A = this chain, B = another copy of it.
């Protein structure tokens, strides 16, 4: 068995990478939400003066990376790798942002699980001694996603009850093999383990019910992680999923209960944290940017301040495309998990 592997799917980092910095950019809608004061940048105009929403999104992606690096005065020219992706066809947000960042780039696609996939692979690069720094980023934009996946924005369609609202936001976490200096926004948060998800499909076909499509994958990854590491839910102050929304989070709870895993009191979902629970935002937030921005802006601060000492970050993705839905396919889900821990817990 590989030296740093445990059980079926879990990687354990002997040289645990540090999360030294993070950057986040969101639109006014997220800025007006409960986490509003935590984001580094809140845009008044979600087109940001660009001539398309797509160009605004890629600028948000790039800016989240630059903010994370600027906080620790780290030059993009020294960055060992940028890893990331987004929801747009051919992940053009990440690709075009990488063109301007100019560092080595690895493009990823895991739908809304992308932030966890990016941090997992960034941790593998650093943990294995292949990089000293990795910027891990993901983004989504309501207006680019809506018109690509669903309907023209001009249509002003009404959401179904289980629909979620795509977050307009980008988040970046800077991983490093060692602390960078006394001004690091985070000084003690490390990646101790990560679980690579499997693709799980329970047969959901409703593209307006992504939470239900992703919940089985989240359950599978959480159960696998606990099984591989011999940990219990109680070992974590927080098990946080990406963007299951209100409906998906309930489904996750009941799926875990079937496997005698009680998440009560320690599970939250980024999609339920980012917006106020009003009809406008349906069943909560979604999109790669949801977990990315929530982690970068809010969750890491909670860890740095000691409110959360060990957290299982489980970003979830629905691996459909408009094409697969049109051809009658069901919606496969995936979830990757990272166990983040404060150094004083080790």
A residues with CB within 8 A of B: 1-5, 8-9, 11, 51-52, 54-55, 80-81, 85, 87-92, 95-96, 98-99, 102-111, 117, 120-121, 124-132, 148, 177, 195-201, 319-324, 327, 329, 332, 334
- Cα of A139 to Cα of B54 in the assembled complex, Å: 27
A90 with B321: CB separation less than 8 A = yes
Contact of A319 among B96, B131, B198 (CB under 8 A): B96
Residue of B nearest to A51 (CB): B327
B319 with A95: CB separation less than 8 A = yes
- Cα of A199 to Cα of B196 in the assembled complex, Å: 27
A4 with B128: CB separation less than 8 A = yes
- 8 smallest beta-carbon distances between A and B, as pairs: A128-B128, A3-B129, A104-B196, A95-B319, A90-B321, A99-B199, A4-B129, A89-B89
Q: How many copies are assembled?
A: 2
- Cα of A91 to Cα of B321 in the assembled complex, Å: 8
B198 with A5: CB separation less than 8 A = no
A131 / chain B contacts, CB cutoff of 8 Å: 2, 5, 11
A109 with B111: CB separation less than 8 A = no
Contact of A106 among B132, B196, B319 (CB under 8 A): B196
Contact of A111 among B90, B99, B127, B200 (CB under 8 A): B90
Residue of B nearest to A201 (CB): B99
Among A132, A196, A201, chain B packs the most CB atoms within 10 A around the CB of A196
CB within 8 Å for A95 and B332 given contacts A52-B327, A90-B319, A109-B85: yes
Starting from the known contacts A81-B196, A105-B198, A124-B130, 19 additional A-B residue pairs (CB-CB under 8 Å) come to: A2-B80, A2-B131, A5-B129, A52-B327, A54-B324, A88-B321, A91-B109, A95-B199, A96-B329, A96-B332, A99-B201, A103-B198, A105-B199, A107-B117, A108-B109, A121-B121, A124-B124, A127-B130, A128-B128
B319 with A130: CB separation less than 8 A = no
Residue of B nearest to A104 (CB): B196
- Tell me, rounded to whole Å, the shortest Cβ–Cβ distance linking A143 to chain B: 13
B323 with A89: CB separation less than 8 A = yes
Contact of A320 among B92, B102, B104, B111 (CB under 8 A): B92
Contact of A199 among B54, B98, B198, B332 (CB under 8 A): B98
A2 with B130: CB separation less than 8 A = yes
A90 with B54: CB separation less than 8 A = no
CB within 8 Å for A105 and B334 given contacts A321-B90, A322-B89, A323-B89: yes
Between-chain CB contacts (< 8 Å), 21 pairs = A2-B177, A5-B132, A11-B125, A54-B324, A54-B327, A55-B327, A91-B109, A92-B321, A92-B323, A95-B319, A95-B334, A96-B319, A96-B332, A98-B332, A99-B201, A99-B332, A102-B198, A102-B199, A104-B195, A106-B108, A107-B108
A319 / chain B contacts, CB cutoff of 8 Å: 90, 92, 95-96, 99, 107
- Cα of A200 to Cα of B91 in the assembled complex, Å: 16
- Cα of A304 to Cα of B95 in the assembled complex, Å: 35
A107 / chain B contacts, CB cutoff of 8 Å: 108-110, 117, 319, 334
- Cα of A11 to Cα of B109 in the assembled complex, Å: 22
